[in-house]
Amino acid sequence: MVSPHGIQFAAHLISSFYGELCSKVCECLLRRGTLTLAQIIQSTELSRENVINCLRVLIHQNCVQAFAVQREGAFGEAQRIVTQYMALFNNIIHKLRAPKFMQIVSEELGKDGLMQHGRLSLKRIIDRNEQTAGSSDIHVVRESFIRLLNARFIERCPAPEPFLAPPAEDEAPAKRRGAKSAKIAEPKTTEQRALAAAAPMESMRFSMEMDNLPEKNDDESSDSVTHRKKRKQDVLKSDEDVLDANDKKEVLWRVNFEELVRRLRTKACISYVKTKINDEAGIVLSAILDLSGRPESRQKAEKTAYLSMNAIYDEVIKKEGGLGMDFERIRVSLDQLGCETLSTGLDESYSIGTHLSSFSYFNAVVESVVLRRYGREAYRVFRLLSKAGRFLETDKISDSTFVEKKDAIKILYKLWKDDYLHMEKVMSSGARQSLFLVWRVNKQTLWEQVLDEMYHAALNLRLRIAHEQDRGKEVLQLPREKLVRELEKKYKLLGKVRVILESSLMNLDEAIMLFHDF
C-alpha cells in the first residue's frame, strides 16, 4: 500500500518526466489500484486516445505493467479475457535515482542508453548508438551490451501482458494453525501474481539467447504465462492499441533496478558505518556484504547465515586499508556491528543476520525527528524505549530518563497520539489491584509514518528546486558575458541554492531508499 505523500511524489515525478496527462493516469492507478482501460478512461475523464498514449509511454518506461485475467460473462454470455493495468510505484521512484544509477554504470563500464529510453531491443540499441554516437560498429556495441549483461546492470523485460490463469477448483485454502506452529505465507495478491507471471525465468533473465522465452512449467505455478489462440481472439482491440504487437515479438531489455539499488544500499550502509563507528568497521562491513551477496536487505537477509572468521579476514585484506588489520581488530569491528558469534570447536563464525541493516540507522533517523519535533526530554524518552525494545512502565521511564513523572506522562501521551508509541493498560496482580500503563515503540507503524514524511519532504524539495529555476530563468538564460555586477552575484547565488537543494534531495533519497527497501 502506497502512502498518501508517496502517491503525490510519484505523480509529481511522472509529471516532470512525461507530462501532466501521464501523471493523471499514473495517479489514478496508484490511488485506485488495478484498473481496466475503460475504468481509467472513466476515472480520469480523458479521451480514449489520450489514455492509450499515456499507457504506452508508461509501459515503455517500466512504470505500468499490463496483465490479463479471465472474467465471468453476463447472463448467457461466455467468459471473456480482460486486460488490466497496475502502476509500479518502485520503478517510478527509481526515476529520481537515474543520475546515481548512471554514475555506477559509467564508473564500471561506460555509458548506458537504456536509462533514458526505458526498454529497447538489441537492434534498436545498435540503431540509436549509430544515430547518437555516429558509430556503426555492431561488434563494439554488442560487446558493451554483453558487459552490461554480465554485470547484471540490464535484464530481459517482463512479459508485456501475462495471463493469470484462474485458481484450480481443487485447490483448498490453507488451514489455520495454532500460534506455536509455523507461519503460513499469506496468499499473493493479484498484483503480486501478475508480477511473478510476467517475470522471465531466472535462467533466461540475463541470457543473450534471442529465441522466444520458453513457457514456465504449469506445475511450478498456476500463474504461468499462456499464449493460446483464444487469448489472442478475446483480447479487446483497444488493449491491442496499448500493447505494441512488435514489442511482444522482440526480446526487449531494460535497466535492472534491483542490482543497482542493491549497490546503492551497500554503499550507503558502508558510508553510515564509517561515519558513526570508524573506517575499520566500514571495511569489515564491506567485506561481509561482498561475501554474502545482499544481506543488507532486511526482507532478504539470511537470518541463519554464518561467515567464518577466515573467510571474513581473507576478504578484508583485499580491501583498501584492510591489509594491516589482524583477527583481533576484525573481531572488535564485528562486535561494533552487532554480529553474533558462533563457536564450534576450532571454527569461529559470525552471524550477519538483520543487524547490518537495522543496527542503528533507522533509530538514528527517527530519533533526530523526535528531537527536532518534540524536544530534548522527549528524545530521551523515545531513545530509552527504542533501545529497550519492550514495554516499560511510566515510573520506570520517568526514573531512567530523569524526567518528572507528570512531564513524562505528557510526553508519552503526545508520542502515542502521533503513533510513535504503542500503549497498553495492565492490571497489577495481588490483593490491591491497580491499573497502570506500559509503553513501547511501535516500529513498523512508525517507520511507515516516517517514510511518508520523507516522501512529503522530497516532494517539497522538488517543488522548491522547480520554483527557484523558474524564478531565476531570466538570469540563467543570459550569456556569460552579460553576467556582471549584480547579475553575476544573483547568478552565483542561484547556483549555490540549487546545489544545496539538490544535495539535500540526494541525501533524503538515500534515506528513503533504505527505509523503503529494508
Predicted local distance difference test score (pLDDT) of residue 227: 43
The alpha helices in 337-442, defined as continuous H runs, are 355-358, 361-374, 376-388, 394-401, 405-417
**pLDDT tens per residue, range 344-383:** 666 678 876 544 444 566 777 788 889 988 999 999 999 9
In tens, the pLDDT along 11-30 reads 999 999 999 999 999 999 99
Distance of CA 133 to the CA centre of its chain: 33
The separation between CA 396 and the C-alpha centre of its own chain, rounded to angstroms, equals 38
**Pair type for strands 154-156 and 119-121:** unpaired
Question: What is the predicted pLDDT for the residue at 60?
Answer: 92
Distance, CA of 107 to CA of 151 (rounded, Å): 12
Q: DSSP letters of 2-49?
A: --HHHHHHHHHHHHHHH-HHHHHHHHHHHHH-SEEHHHHHHHH---HH
Q: Are 252 and 339 in contact (CB under 8 A)?
A: no
Task: State residue 407's pLDDT score.
Answer: 94
Backbone φ, ψ for residue 475 (5° rounding)? -75, -40
Residue 177's SS3 state is: coil
How many CB atoms within 10 Å of residue 93?
22
Nearest to 197 by CA among 93, 57, 94, 69: 69
Extract the residue ranges of the chain whose pLDDT is less than 50: 172, 175-183, 211-238, 294-304, 354-358
